[in-house]
Amino acid sequence: MAKIISDVVCPFCGTLCDDLEVKVSDDGKELLEVYNACVIGTEKFLHSQAEDRLTVPQMQDEEGNSKDVSVDDAVEYTAQMLCNAKKPLMYGWSSTNCEAQSVGHEIAELVGAVVDNTATVCHGTTLIALQDVGVPSCTLGEVKNRADRIVFWGCNPAHAHPRHMSRYSIFPRGFFTGKGHKARKMVVVDPRSTDTAKMADLHMQIEQGRDYELLSALRVAVRGNPLPETVAGIPRETIQEVAETLKSGRFVIIFFGMGVTQSLSKNHNIDMAISLTRDLNDYTKAAIMPMRGHYNVTGSGQVLGWQFGYPFCVDLSRGFARYNPGDSTSNDLLRRGEVDAIFVLGSDPGAHFPISSVKKIAKLPSVCVDPHITPTSAVCKLHMPVAFVGVEEGGCAYRMDNVPIETRKVIDAPEGVLSDEEFLKRVLTRVKEIKGVA
């Protein structure tokens, strides 16, 4: 026999599906099967059951050999490292809950750290753009219930957000969208013929790195002004057709991803995409939404926002919060050698940062808090294995449209394995002792 837990929230991507069902053994110790989730989400749940899972903290010596250490030793090493550093970097925060982020921020404030999340190599440019021009957006339910013109720009939900199209954007039959995908027009902008692009009514196979031009051309076309014969490899007629398609919709939504945020022109691309959305609001209703990656990178930006006023790369080292992308962003700090200790939680910079940054991490005192063995844990001095948030621990997470959902604990963590929050609280207590504050 086994029991089924329903309404489980998937702690993988920013789609934050909350309709999963999980089969667990009667004693609640073993997770047997996962229903409704995509293949990535299913793997995340099942991975917590891996038999070779790490449960004991690992400390590397100078030759790179790992040995088991106690949790107390891990707490002590982390607290001493943060307190002794002049300017530690506390990076990640995107695959954990808001409660852990909050405790992390308190530590960062005490030790004068820089707090940065994965937006720094992801949608940070989006955040910069919306500081320039704002952002007209909506929740995913508005898309489901109203939207009849769907644009995917530089993103590939078929693989990166597998249930996005079925739950929210293309297929669902909502209140004013009873015909589902039959009454929706789907436009995809991508230099590759992706699986998402293959589904589109209109695929604009743009020349790589020409997003800014094409977005500008669309704004021109929306206004009915003349265009050159081709822009970014797209014929004028196609651009005009897309502009007309968008204008003739009742509700337009533009989803965009890494393809525009981290390609040439970065935040300027997003400025232009948001401005296009603004323009469309003169003709119909239009909204735009970033396809956030990690399931709670959005939450990190929110918690940083209400506690310090900025969504990422917050430098607390001067005693007050400073925000200056390009200066206080992780890769810039690492590559210029401006930080002297690295604390990573809920992210894998070892796999995603440039090698020049990863080399710096390898040379510095460093802690990686992660349930998995990752490229980051391989280069960090201390690897602290923790419970899986959303599987073995609950807590709040924010979906890509900023909607907060409380994740559920479905099984217990292996004995002796702390959650992110529990570990951070112990570090905080120790930091307070070292710093001599009540």
Partner 1 sequence: MAEYLIKNGFVFDPVLGINGDKTDVAIKDGKIVKSTEIKNPKVVDAAGKTVMAGGVDIHAHVAGPKVNLGRNYRPEDKLFTYAPKKGARRMAGGFSVPTVFRTGYKYAQMGYTTVMEAAMPPLYARHVHEEMRDTPILDQGAYPVFGNNWFVLEYLKNHEVENTAAYMSWLLRTTKGYAVKIVNPGGTEAWGWGLNCNSIHDPVPYFDITPAQIMKGLMEANEALKLPHSVHIHTNNLGNPGNYETTLDTFKLFEGEKPNNDFGRKQVMHHTHVQFHSYGGDSWRNVESKADKIMDYVNSHDNMTMDLGCVTLDETTTMTADGPFEHHLTELNHLKWANTDVELETAAGVVPYIYSPNVKVCGVQWAIGLELGLMAKDPMRVFITTDHPNAGPFFRYPRVMKWLMSKDAREAQMDALKWAERVRDSTFLSGIDRELTLYEIAAMTRAGPAQALGLKDRYGSLTPGLEADVAVYDYNPETAEDPELIEKAFGNAAYLFKGGEMVVKEGEVVSNGNKKTLWVDAKVAENPQVQRDVTEKFLRYYTVTQANYEVNEKVFMKNPYRIEIDATQ
Return residues touching partner 1 (CB under 8 A): 6-7, 9, 18-19, 98-99, 102, 109, 127, 130-142, 144-146, 167-168, 174-176, 250-251, 278, 281, 284-285, 287, 301-303, 305-311, 316, 319-321, 323, 394-396, 398, 401-406
Closest distance to partner 1 from the beta carbon of 207 (Å): 30
Cα–Cα distance measured from residue 371 to residue 376, given in angstroms and rounded to the nearest whole number: 12
User: Cβ closer to partner 1: 87 or 285?
Assistant: 285
Closest distance to partner 1 from the beta carbon of 296 (Å): 13
User: Cβ closer to partner 1: 355 or 438?
Assistant: 438
CB 368 within 8 A of CB 383: yes
Closest distance to partner 1 from the beta carbon of 166 (Å): 12
Based on the number of CB atoms within 10 Å of its own CB, is 3 exposed (0-12), middle (13-18) or buried (19 or more)? exposed
Cα–Cα distance measured from residue 244 to residue 187, given in angstroms and rounded to the nearest whole number: 12
Closest distance to partner 1 from the beta carbon of 234 (Å): 27
Between vectors from CA 334 to CA 333 and to CA 335, what angle results, nearest 5°? 95
Closest distance to partner 1 from the beta carbon of 163 (Å): 11
Based on the number of CB atoms within 10 Å of its own CB, is 401 exposed (0-12), middle (13-18) or buried (19 or more)? buried
Residues 6+ apart with CB under 8 A from 399: 14, 15, 16, 140, 292, 298, 405
User: Cβ closer to partner 1: 353 or 398?
Assistant: 398
CB 114 within 8 A of CB 339: yes
User: Cβ closer to partner 1: 31 or 314?
Assistant: 314
User: Cβ closer to partner 1: 315 or 348?
Assistant: 315
Closest distance to partner 1 from the beta carbon of 245 (Å): 17
Pairing of strands 58-60, 314-315: unpaired
User: Cβ closer to partner 1: 152 or 323?
Assistant: 323
User: Cβ closer to partner 1: 283 or 414?
Assistant: 283
Cα–Cα distance measured from residue 312 to residue 303, given in angstroms and rounded to the nearest whole number: 10
Closest distance to partner 1 from the beta carbon of 67 (Å): 37
Tally of CA atoms within 13 A in the half-sphere of 58 that contains its CB: 22
Residue 395 bridge partners (DSSP):
407
Cα–Cα distance measured from residue 115 to residue 234, given in angstroms and rounded to the nearest whole number: 41
